[in-house]
Amino acid sequence: MKIFTDANPSEFPEGTVVTIGAYDGVHLGHRYLISKTIEIAGNIAASSVVVTFDRHPASVVRPGSAPFLLSDLSQKIDCLADTGVDCVCVVTFDQNRANESATDFVEEFLVGKLNVKMVVVGSDFHFGHNRHGNVALLEELGRKHGFEVLGAPLKSPGKGSGEVLSSTMIRRLIASGEMERASEYLGRVYELRGHVEHGDSRGGNELGFPTANVSFSGSMATPPDGIYAGWVVLENKERFAAAISLGTRPTYYPGGGNRLLEAFILGFDGNLYGQGIGVLFGKKIRDQERFSTSGELIAKIREDIARVDAFCGTQSL
C-alpha cells in the first residue's frame, strides 16, 4: 500500500476510485465502503484510494466537543493496509482545509490531483466548509468533470436494530464497557497503544504481579475503570494474554490517584521499559474495587488472572 500526502495526476494515468472520510476506527461500515472502492477500481483497471485526514476534522472545527478517537493515525494506517486498498492519501486538516469549499476540494484535489473516475461514500456523507458538500453535490460535479458517484446505503449492526453502524455507536459501547460488542463492530479487538513507563513498582515488589504501566494519549476513547481480559502486543508483534487494569488504584489511593493503564502479561518475563506496546481490551471482568488489605487484593488478582486465562484461551484473534 502506498501512503502519500499529495498527489500528481501523472501518477494515476488510468484514474482512481476514491473513498473519503475520517475513517476513525476503520470499522465494518468503513470496510464495506473500502471493499466497494477496491472492487470497482479492479473492474475499471484504476487505482483504489482512501482519502483520509491526519486528525479528526472535529478537532479543528469544534475542538471543545471533538469525539474521543477509536484509532490514532498510525493505527488507522495499519487498519487501512489490512483492507488491501492500493493507496492512502493523508490530507492535513488545518483551518485552511476547514475553510475550503466542497467544490474547491473536489475540483482541486479529487479531479486535479487524483484524476478521479468514481467516488464511493456513504449516503449521509458531508464534506467541505460547514459540511455543505453531500452526495448530490458530488453527483453534480461528477457530471461536470466526468466522474461517477456511489452513495452507498449505511450498514446496520443487526436486523431490525434501527441504528446505523458508526464510530459514534462504537464509542458509546466502549464508554459503557461493552468491549465484546465494540470488537464485533470494529472487526477487531479495541486497542490502546502507548509506551511502557516506570511506575511505583508495587505490582512486582509488593503484590507479586509485575505490570507494564502504559502511557496513552488522552485523545483516545477509553472504557470505564475496571479489570479487563485481553492481550498485549509487543513491538516484535508477539501477542500475550494479559490481565488489564484501568483506574486510580483505590486500595492505595482512596482519595483518587492518577488514572493508570497497567497490564500483567501472562507467560512473559522481560524488560519492556521504553517500548511501544498495544493493549487490547477483550472483555470486562469486573469493576474497580477498593480492598482493606494487600492480601485481599492479591487473592482477587489471582481470581482475575484465572478468569483472564480462561477467556483468552477460548478466543482466536
Tell me whether residue 168 is in a domain: no
Q: Residue 313 and residue 139: Cα distance in Å, rounded?
A: 50
Q: Are residues 35 and 110 in the same domain?
A: yes
Residue 221 within any structural domain of the chain: yes
Residue 185: exposure state from Cβ atoms within 10 A (0-12, 13-18, ≥19) = buried
- Of 142, 143, 186, give the one whose Cα is nearest residue 31: 186
Please check whether residue 172 lies inside any domain of the structure. no
In 56-211, at which residue ranges do the beta strands (DSSP E only) sit?
A: 87-91, 116-122, 148-152, 190-197
The band of 205, judged by pLDDT with boundaries at 50, 70 and 90, is low
Q: Which helix (H) or strand (E) holds 287?
A: strand 276-287
Cα separation, 98 vs 93, whole angstroms = 7
Q: Cell 524488560 belongs to which residue?
A: 271
All residues at 6 or more sequence positions from 87 whose CB lies less than 8 Å from its CB, including other chains? 1, 2, 3, 4, 16, 47, 48, 49, 50
For residues 81 and 141, membership in a common domain is answered with: yes
Residues 207-266: pLDDT tens digits? Answer: 788 999 999 999 999 999 999 999 999 999 999 999 999 998 877 777 777 899 999 999
Tell me: do 35 and 143 sit in the same domain: yes
Residue 138's CATH number: 3.40.50.620
Closest Cα to residue 177, out of 130, 221, 125? 221
d(CA 161, CA 181): 14
53 in the same domain as 6: yes
- Whether residue 168 is predicted with pLDDT greater than 60 in this model: the reply is yes
Residue 202 has pLDDT above 90, yes or no: no
Q: Is residue 218 part of a domain?
A: yes
Contact by Cβ (8 Å): 284, 177: yes
- Residue 126 sits in the same domain as residue 267: no
Percent residues over pLDDT 90 in the chain: 81
Residue with cell 479543528: 60
Residue 57's identity, in one-letter code, is: P
Residue 134 and residue 270 share a domain: no
* Section 261-278 average pLDDT: 94
The verdict on 266 and 137 lying in the same domain is no
| 167 within domain boundaries | no
CB 128 within 8 A of CB 105: yes
Whether 197 and 308 share a structural domain:
yes
Nearest C-alpha neighbor of 229 from the set 317, 315, 308:
308
- 203 and 138 inside one domain: no
Give the range of the structural domain holding residue 217, as residue numbers without chain letter.
190-312
Q: Is residue 181 part of a domain?
A: no
Whether residues 130 and 194 share a domain: the answer is: no
Paired with 4 in beta bridges are 89
| Residue 100 grid coordinates | 475550503
- Distance CA(224)–CA(124), nearest Å, equals 31
State the CATH number of the domain containing residue 205.
2.40.30.30
- Global pTM reads 0.92
Same domain, 17 and 129: yes
Per the structure, the count of domains in the chain is: 2
Contacts of 15 (CB under 8 A, 6+ apart): 44, 46, 47, 115, 116, 117
pLDDT on residue 161: 60
Q: Report the mean per-residue pLDDT for the chain.
A: 93
